[in-house]
Structure 1
Amino acid sequence: MINAVQLGLGPIGQRLTRYLSERDGIQIVGAVDPDLQKVGKDLGEHAGDDESGIIISPDLNSCSAIGQVDVAVISTVSPLEKMEAQIQEVADCGLDIVSTCEELSHPWQTQPECAHRIDNYCKEKDISCVGTGVNPGFLMDYLPSVLTSVCREVKHIKVERIQDARPRRKPFRDKIGVGLTGSEFEENRDSIRHVGLPESVYMIAEAMNWELTNVDERLQPIQAESSIQTESGMVQPGNIAGVRQVALGLQNDKEVIRLVFEAAVGIEKSHDSIYITGTPTFTSTVDGGINGDIATSAIIVNAIRSISRATPGLKTMLNITAPAYFSRVDEGNLAKY
């Protein structure tokens, strides 16, 4: 049995609570969130499930079960600079880490100094750490890298993630600017985006052993052409329905990686497509796309077994054993790689 503590109990954290609670081989023994509206509540009830007997603590120091914990599941922030202190605090407790932090997924080129500090600290504390999720962490980086396993040669990789944002949680729709006017979008442009595309480009490049000379990222708003009803209200014609982001991996002036992320309310045909140009050239498509909220929570749970087997340090999805669904833990196979 792997004992886990949760840090961060927002919408994804609550879904994680439900997924962790139902998984054989994992037991939640503690939960932490500094939000005073959550502190003191029962974790299970907070997640919309049955009473668990686990009371939400404001910090790790006040979590009475900390001495029983093997791994920390962290779903708190996206920026790496804010995540670093949390990693150090958890590492001081001797816990392996699986996190939803997008910028943690592959920070070696985007934020190298911070990445090296985290890596060194984790090694010093003899713990392993990985950032993952559906994207970044799987659909637009790890999966296309794995698909090239059948190739004799690869010349270009393109990934498209096109998704209707209506089924997604409200914080996701807010993150892509749904419902804003054009001027409101421009005023908030720096905070309206999907986080993690450059990290995904660099993860693919590492897998291919391609040295990139530049990574270029572009973002454009998508305007609603007609009225679109969402859970949060009506998006009027001309207002923002979502975003289209493109990240390019370049070798000198030659494009070798293209990632296209498009998320907006009203998209009719969601899909995830991977285009490999090489020998052979082929396309792999998931019709309807993979639900991001479900997949992010699932891969975090499934990565727990993989990170418990990893050597100390900051890892990416490329250097831990491939996560897969599991219903129990084989203790005989938990030796560190």
Structure 2
Amino acid sequence: MTDSIRVLHYGIGHVGGEIARLVHRRPDMTSVAAVDADPSKIGADLGMLFGDDAWGIFVSPDLKSALQDAEADIAIHTTGSFLPQVVDQLEELIEAGLNICSTCEDLSYPALKRPELARRLDGLAKSKGVTIHGTGVNPGFIMDKFVLAISGVCQEVRHVRVERIVDASKRRPPLQLKTGAGLSPEEFLAQTETGAVRHAGYQEAVALIAAGLGWKLDRVEETVKPIIATEPVSTDVLSVEPGQSLGLHQEARGFVAGRPLIELILEMRVDRPEGYDRVVLDGIPPMDVKVIGGTHGDRATTAVVVNSLASVLAAKPGLATILDLPLALGWGV
């Protein structure tokens, strides 16, 4: 590997594009190739896609063509949330000898719900001598690694509660729609069952906390419910009438010896709530840490991914979770 980390971008959507821009600003990293299936992006200069000067990197339709004239150390993968939908992409990247840092929420702790796929990816990565890692802001930081970092000052921890309240009215259109805002209760329920309305990765975050604290989980329960409007609300993207959903209230609970020792609570709503992130640990000493205004999801996800690259490259081959890597550190300027 050269002194500069050579990055292949696999997926140039909103988050993938933000990541590419951040990598371009980092003096210790170099973008060398990009892959995206969108016909409107194929052949385009990566920099010019973002209104920047030309970078001399052109978007390829597939991995083979992307690597014809480029050598990469690691692929940043940003195409999907669910492992069954992206496992073929991940395996192709591993077969090409690339380390991977992915925003796929399932990949943050795939042993929980996809144990067979986890074993398959782990075995393939080890055979190729590369590391594969799933991360982001959540899962990947706010509701798991941040919690575990705070627990480091506790002699013991008896209960974990995490709250994340997000003002979705300020977020990009796809995320506003993902909250279920503007749907009737019946439409909301139907879309939660398909996975169109919910935040992926919450059960994985519970499992990561439990594993980090040495708790053996009995089970994880998850619920997603609409927050019903009592008055009209509108954003630049959508309108909500009384009786319709303002957004979602999602909870995940981890049970240990029959008791709910881990509680994760998420609200994403468009009626402009005061956003915050809060971690409450019942322990010795007790801890109550609140991030006023909350953590911006897209910007933080971009940062966590890029700040994790060096650690992924330094890790042992195989499937690595946040428990296997050091805390990602920011870049001082």
- Using structure 2 for the length normalisation, give the TM-score: 0.95
1:122 aligns with 125
Pairing partner for 1:194 from 187, 199, 222: 199
What is the distance in 1 between the residues matched to 2:31 and 2:280?
40
2:63 aligns with 60
Pairing partner for 1:34 from 9, 18, 37: 37
2:216 aligns with 211
Cα separation, partners in 2 of 1:57 and 1:243, compared to 1, 3 Å: same
Cα separation, partners in 2 of 1:48 and 1:229, compared to 1, 3 Å: farther
What is the distance in 2 between the residues matched to 1:224 and 1:51?
46
- 8 Å contact from structure 2 (residues 44, 59) kept in 1: yes
Pairing partner for 2:308 from 303, 307, 325: 303
Q: C-alpha displacement at 1:66, in angstroms? A: 5.9
Pairing partner for 2:291 from 253, 275, 286: 286
For residues 1-337 of structure 1, what are the structure 2 equivalents within 5 Å? 1-64=4-67, 67-190=70-193, 191=195, 192-326=197-331
- 1:223-245 alpha-carbon deviations (Å, 9 max, x no partner): 22222221213222222111011
Q: Which amino acid aligns with 1:11?
A: H
What is the distance in 1 between the residues matched to 2:70 and 2:57?
15
- 8 Å contact from structure 2 (residues 9, 31) kept in 1: yes
Q: C-alpha displacement at 1:67, in angstroms? A: 4.3
Q: C-alpha displacement at 1:93, in angstroms? A: 1.3
Of 210-219 and 259-268, more deviation after overlay is shown by 259-268
What is the distance in 2 between the residues matched to 1:13 and 1:63?
16
- 1:251-309 alpha-carbon deviations (Å, 9 max, x no partner): 13211100001111114211000000010112000010010011011111101111011
SS at match of 1:318: coil
Unaligned runs of 5+ in 2: none
Of 209-218 and 219-228, more deviation after overlay is shown by 219-228
- 8 Å contact from structure 2 (residues 32, 70) kept in 1: no
What is the distance in 2 between the residues matched to 1:115 and 1:167?
36
Q: Which amino acid aligns with 1:249?
A: G
What is the distance in 2 between the residues matched to 1:48 and 1:17?
13
What is the distance in 1 between the residues matched to 2:169 and 2:83?
28
What is the distance in 2 between the residues matched to 1:143 and 1:112?
25
SS at match of 2:97: coil
Q: CA RMSD in A?
A: 1.4
Cα separation, partners in 2 of 1:141 and 1:116, compared to 1, 3 Å: same
SS at match of 2:59: coil
What is the distance in 1 between the residues matched to 2:281 and 2:111?
25
Q: C-alpha displacement at 1:112, in angstroms? A: 1.1
SS at match of 1:150: coil
Q: C-alpha displacement at 1:170, in angstroms? A: 1.3
Cα separation, partners in 2 of 1:153 and 1:117, compared to 1, 3 Å: same
- 1:139-184 alpha-carbon deviations (Å, 9 max, x no partner): 0011101111111111001100111101211111121212222232
1:334 aligns with none
1:331 aligns with none
Of 229-238 and 314-323, more deviation after overlay is shown by 229-238
Q: Which amino acid aligns with 1:60?
A: L
What is the distance in 2 between the residues matched to 1:123 and 1:147?
32
Count of matched residue pairs: 328
What is the distance in 1 between the residues matched to 2:239 and 2:277?
27
